[in-house]
Structure 1
């Protein structure tokens, strides 16, 4: 853990992560925007991140760019290929003009998909068996990856990072949380392998560490290479903070420039990610078919009845991570005020990552800087989560609605 000093860092002081220097210590976390309805970046996506950059963050993170078609959760997500680069360049240029850095979250869904890729009904993952998520979408089974599959997907991550560099991004974030492919290896809830990629925490992190190593080799001299890591799965039998700390030490050894600490799994414990119940009524209304509605009804039954939001809900688990490694860490989870940020920096976290409060007010960081406000009026209702299925994309239900025309215009289109 970094040595504590009597001087607490200012939230508005610069931060170096790898080769990148951020203007301050507040990051827009990756959170699905729902602004790529054709699988390509739109004017809406550019505006979303330009507004946050203009609002004062040090870096904004574009969410969920699949490294391959088979890595999509659903068909209208962004898949990083040559066709997306010109559109993403418009976005990074807009962010840079506002003085912020731009990060692209690169990932692969594994079994967490609503699609049948190439006629396959068994997407690749850590272990063979029933696909608990895909069953709602007619993707009933999943297949354990072989080492040749791992080699191919690690190469796809590295190739995606090179494309991100070409598109002008300053950093990439390898998504290792929330139940997507790399987390399917990390978590004992989904990894039942008996080879060198399964078993104890150090073995379960072997494939994600391979991916990190290849991405670092591809772009590490030019870009910050970050990882999003769950501090806890938030479900019985899943990773604990101690497990995740053991994995974090290995990722630190492989050269990760920053770990963004999150938690929860999209199937087993999605409420853990948000620290509060999901808006299931709105989600059912937006569900594409009856099986999806059934899945949401099952989620309602499994959500803890006594769940109540509280600020800094991942703090205890994240403290374990802070004690385990010396590398930069970004805290995420229930940050609602400038006082929260100062407390976290005082405890040795290097920066904070915000999502819902910046959807509520993209200019929140500037408001904190000027002293106009010290907190956030976001009430963690999570209605913005259901908005990712809206034709206009994500927005706060308490603010002005997003403009649906912008999601119909590609980012690089002449208008």
Structure 2
């Protein structure tokens, strides 16, 4: 049987095949971050037929200070729940499972959008934005952890099948993980274990409100691919800690390099060296995304044990029927 068409169980999630629609910002939310009709129509179209059994919706900000851009989805207040309920229903009707990706942009937030001075682990210029953030106090870190917790509770209440904690692409949790932006001298900075302390506290806080059977994913920017930045060695340590802490699935991408390799790469599954290394040390499923546009390539990456699930982003963005064609080509 095709590797891509094999079902997968992860925690309480049962998936019919190995395809995942990864989070991609659409800028279709209402001006206040609400779920608009445009958002509902977009996800209805992308999930039609249920060929993408797992859909991780685009990043939702957990507090205004962490908003990355205009028309980004907001899960920052209880008033968001009815809109998210509609979104979960649309995706479920098509036979797919739906995950909310919760995010805080940290020093990548846009002050013109938020009206708030951006925050970060250290008062160091963001390598991608140039913004020098306000250095978070221990009290402020604790408040952000609580906001992640509340956001997870809202996602569960809205009927979503799980949540994903965003620590990739140079956003706040990734800023703590990366030595480029985390030069703290307290318990949140220094060794890898100290740099992921905030992650472990977020995971614990989320678990406390969603219970043990609600899937919690974590997206990890597993390397900055930059001198002095985070490395795959750091991520091997972090991944094992995240599994111990109760993460159900690891979703691997880039750190400060974003979702592309530095210099660009046209290789199918260009982050596969990262996922292959992490897969060796964890027993939970690992998602690989990055340039995968052909069903045969996805099949090959799974067969070689490079990953357990394959994220197909840009190709699904361009062609809503891609997943159906991919599945049919392997039958």
Alignment TM-score, normalising by the size of structure 1: 0.74
Match of 1:322 in 2: 279
Q: Does residue 16 of the first structure (1) align with residue 9 of the second (2)? A: yes
SS of the residue 1:324 aligns to: coil
After TM superposition, give the deviation of residue 117 of structure 1 in Å. 8.5
Equivalent of residue 254 in structure 1, options 234, 245, 254: 245
**Does the CA-based 8 Å contact 2:67-2:113 persist in structure 1?**
no
CA distance in 1, matches of 2:180, 2:159: 37
1:279-320, Cα deviation, whole Å (9 max, x unpaired): xxxxxxxxxxxxxxxxxxxxxxxx74xx44222211122211
8 Å contact 2:169–2:221 — kept in the other structure? yes
Task: Give structure 1 stretches of 5+ with no counterpart.
Answer: 1-7, 276-302, 375-415
Aligned length: 327
Task: Please name the residue that 1:343 is paired with.
Answer: 300
Equivalent in the alignment of 1:78: 73
Over 3 Å counting, the alpha-carbon distance change for 1:199 and 1:42 in structure 2 is same
Aligned to 1:59: 54
CA distance in 1, matches of 2:44, 2:214: 20
Question: 1 CA distance for matches of 2:182 and 2:231?
Answer: 15
Larger radius of gyration: 1
When the two structures are superposed, what TM-score results if normalisation uses the length of structure 2?
0.92
How far did residue 116 of structure 1 move?
Answer: 6.0
Task: Assess if the C-alpha contact under 8 Å between 2:248 and 2:284 holds in 1.
Answer: yes
- Within the candidate set 220, 225, 231, 1:229 is matched to 220
Of stretches 339-348 and 361-370 in structure 1, the one that deviates more from structure 2 is 339-348
1:157 aligns with 2:152: no
Offset from partner CA, 1:196-230 (integer Å, 9 cap, x none): 21112121111111111111221143421000001
**In structure 1, C-alpha distance between the alignment counterparts of 2:2 and 2:64, rounded to whole Å:** 42
Is 2:42 the partner of 1:48? yes
The reply to whether residue 356 of structure 1 matches residue 306 of structure 2 is no
3-state SS of 1:46 partner: helix
Q: Deviations over 1:169-188 (max 9, x none)?
A: 10111101011000000001
In the alignment, the residues of structure 2 paired with residue 108 and residue 115 of structure 1 have an alpha-carbon distance, to the nearest angstrom, of 13
Aligned partners of 2:287 and 2:308 also within 8 Å: yes
Match of 1:178 in 2: 169
Unaligned runs of 5+ in 2: none
1:91 to 75, 83, 87: 87
1:195 Cα deviation after fit = 1.5
Given that 2:275 and 2:286 are in contact with CA atoms closer than 8 Å, whether structure 1 keeps it comes out as no
Find the aligned partners of 2:114 and 2:98 in 1 and give their Cα distance.
Answer: 33
Measured in 2, the distance between the counterparts of 1:330 and 1:59 equals: 11
Kindly indicate whether the alpha-carbon contact (under 8 Å) linking 1:192 and 1:198 is maintained by their aligned counterparts in 2. yes
Greater relative contact order, per chain length (Cα 8 Å cut-off, separation 6+): 1
Superposed CA deviations along residues 57-79 of structure 1, whole A, max 9, x for unmatched, are: 01111111111111101343222
SS class of match (1:156): helix
Rounded Cα–Cα distance in structure 2 between residues aligned with 1:127 and 1:151? 16
SS of the aligned residue for 2:181 comes to coil
**What is the root-mean-square deviation in Å for CA atoms of aligned residues?**
2.1
Q: Contact 1:23–1:100 (CA<8 Å) still a contact in 2?
A: no
